[in-house]
Amino acid sequence: MMNREELIELLPLYALGHLDPEEKLAVEALLRDDAEARQLLDSYRLVQDTFILGTPLRQAPAHLQADLRHRLAMENAAQGPTQVTRRPLPADLASQQPTQQMRKPALRSRKLSRPRFSSVAFGGVAAALLLVVALLAFLRLGDNPVREYAQIIAQSGAERIAVTSLENFGIQGELVISADRRAAVLALSNLPAVTDAQTLQLWLAQVEPPIVVSGGLFRPMPAEDGRTYLTLPLDRPVDGYLRFSVSLEAEGGSQFPDKPTGPRIVVVAL
Amino acid sequence: MQPATDAELMHRVRGRDQDALVELHARYASLVFSVAWRVLDEQGICEEVTQDVFMRLWHRPEQYDPAKGRLSTWLMNVARNLAIDRARQRQSHNPRTGLFFLDENPDLTEALLASDGLDAERQMLWSVVAQLSDEQRTALELAYFHGLTPLEIASVVQAPLATVKSRLQRGMQKLRDLWLSEKT
């Protein structure tokens, strides 16, 4: 058992987040009861925050400001009152379930857990990735998105978010989210014609860690009601995501694991 | 007309005013980008980190607490955390040290820091950091700008773990003591 003096000595490492779990618990126990220790920790944190000023400075690229405006405009388009509306599920909507004979879209499994590629190694890894994609080409995510959609909208407390497209693609549809927030299905109509040399790619932007991951490649496969249904491959509750989007890509998908290469045609901001 | 203060712009950001966010971006994007560059040294990812910092401010403006410090240093620290996360995701990461205050363009530095009164604080930090030993400075750089654990630092600098922990502890203590004495 460490005494107070030893624990005080550990405060710099605690401020840096570099203590063993046991040491961390002991320091936190001290901090709960010792105002002087808390004050000392605050002073270490202040110095630590100031350390950032030692960064060598360089000019940000000029195009970033236009990019930011574009991102804001895209979110605005997706969230505007005429384009995205959140509404509680009316009780009678459950009766409008699509038939289970509707076909599900061919969503290819291409989910990447995280971008881990250095630029140098990227080319080789991307080639390997494409091979894996080809091998998995016939695996489908989501057992039956049409059925899942029907099950979700039948739930009390489900959420429906109306979706329209960006850049005048004319896409319409909705995102339905289950009551427990752990399942979601996108239903999209008027998806653009996709040639053999093209594909659509789903993207999921996480809150923490703040990264974007691919949710898979797919092609428009309209069900009987004309909509293409996609079960989103969530690995956390929906609230762990900032937005979902769909991009139009060359065959094989984006050349980047963590962002589209082609234009985004749908963005659903949460 | 006086330019809007950070507090005024943040008030507008909380009211969903996109122009206010763009104005803060114009003011601080280079500081944020510099931090990302310090950690990652890869243009495309540094640009993404920069944009993510401002989008985070847009989505979660309440996370910034003015009582805890300047907006500029808060943004820079968010950038550091995001950049370290990105660095950990990369297969290879070669942390660089010895880069404190190595500005490429002193005029740019002056322009970036003058608006927020950071230049005097930075000068003070410079004089304080210069009094650390090289070993302490390197250990702190690796811990702070690269998020390396003491064990990882020990591997990078080829020193025993206990020595690295001691360098971090003593370095932080010295920084704090010198900083407080400079302040007073």
Asked whether residue B83 falls in the same domain as residue B105, the answer is no
Which value, to the nearest 10 degrees, does the dihedral of the CA atoms of residues A85, A86, A89, A94 take?
Answer: 50
Average pLDDT for B125-145? 89
Asked whether residue B73 falls in the same domain as residue B59, the answer is yes
Question: How many beta carbons lie within 10 A of that of residue A62, not counting itself?
Answer: 8
Which pLDDT score is estimated for A145? 85
Q: Which of A126, A240, A246 is nearest to A186 (CA)?
A: A246
Query: Whose structure tokens read 């005429």?
Result: A82
Asked whether residue B106 falls in the same domain as residue B52, the answer is no
Instruction: Tell me how many domains chain B contains.
Output: 2
Is B179 a residue whose pLDDT tops 80? yes
Question: How many beta carbons lie within 10 A of that of residue A155, not counting itself?
Answer: 16
> From its phi and psi, is residue A173 left (phi > 0), alpha (psi between -120 and 50) or beta?
left
Which pLDDT score is estimated for A233? 85
Which pLDDT score is estimated for B21? 96
Q: Using CB atoms, pick whichever of B34, B51, B171 lies closest to residue A64.
A: B51
**Strand partners of residue B23:** none
Asked whether residue B74 falls in the same domain as residue B127, the answer is no
pTM of the model: 0.56
Last residue of a domain, one of B58, B93, B128: B93
Question: How many beta carbons lie within 10 A of that of residue A111, not counting itself?
Answer: 16
Q: Using CB atoms, pick whichever of A61, A64, A119 lies closest to residue B42.
A: A119
Asked whether residue B80 falls in the same domain as residue B5, the answer is yes
Instruction: Write out the DSSP string of B22-77.
Output: HHHHHHHHHHHHHHHHHHH--HHHHHHHHHHHHHHHHH-GGG--GGGS-HHHHHHH
- Does B89 contact A116 at a Cβ distance shorter than 8 Å? yes
Å between A259 CA and nearest CA of chain B: 10
Is B149 a residue whose pLDDT tops 80? yes
Asked whether residue B128 falls in the same domain as residue B180, the answer is yes
B81 — contact with chain A (CB < 8 Å)? no
Which site among A14, A24, A45, A51 would you substitute to test the B interface, given the most B Cβ atoms closer than 10 Å to its Cβ?
A51
Asked whether residue B7 falls in the same domain as residue B89, the answer is yes
Asked whether residue B82 falls in the same domain as residue B142, the answer is no
Residue range B31-48, pLDDT digits in tens: 999 999 988 878 888 999
B168 — contact with chain A (CB < 8 Å)? yes
Q: Establish whether the linkage from the previous residue to A209 is cis, with ω within 30° of 0.
A: yes
Average pLDDT for B111-140? 81
CA distances A182 to A199, B17, B45, Å, are 27, 32, 30
- Does A56 contact B91 at a Cβ distance shorter than 8 Å? no
Asked whether residue B19 falls in the same domain as residue B63, the answer is yes
Asked whether residue B33 falls in the same domain as residue B87, the answer is yes
Residue type, B61: P
A8 — contact with chain B (CB < 8 Å)? no
Q: What is the CATH number of the domain that holds B161?
A: 1.10.10.10
Å between B62 CA and nearest CA of chain A: 15
Query: Whose structure tokens read 């980047």?
Result: A256
- For residue B152, give both structure tokens: 């990882």
Q: Using CB atoms, pick whichever of B34, B169, B172 lies closest to residue A55.
A: B34
Asked whether residue B136 falls in the same domain as residue B164, the answer is yes
- What residue numbers bound the domain in which B126 lies? 95-184
- For residue A252, give both structure tokens: 């094989």
Q: What is the CATH number of the domain that holds B29?
A: 1.10.1740.10
Which pLDDT score is estimated for B105? 64
What SS3 class is residue A209? coil
The residues of chain A scoring below 70 in pLDDT are 77-143, 164-169
* pLDDT averaged over every residue in chain B: 86
Residue range A159-183, pLDDT digits in tens: 888 786 665 567 888 899 998 898 9
CA dist B105 and A58 (Å) reads 7
Asked whether residue B11 falls in the same domain as residue B60, the answer is yes
Last residue of a domain, one of B66, B93, B120: B93
**Residues from chain B contacting residue A54 (CB–CB below 8 Å):** 100-101, 122, 125-126, 129
Edge-to-edge order in the sheet of strand A264-269: A212-218, A198-206, A241-250, A264-269
CA dist B168 and A16 (Å) reads 9
Å between B155 CA and nearest CA of chain A: 15
Which pLDDT score is estimated for A122? 57
ipTM over 0.85: no
Last residue of a domain, one of B34, B69, B93: B93
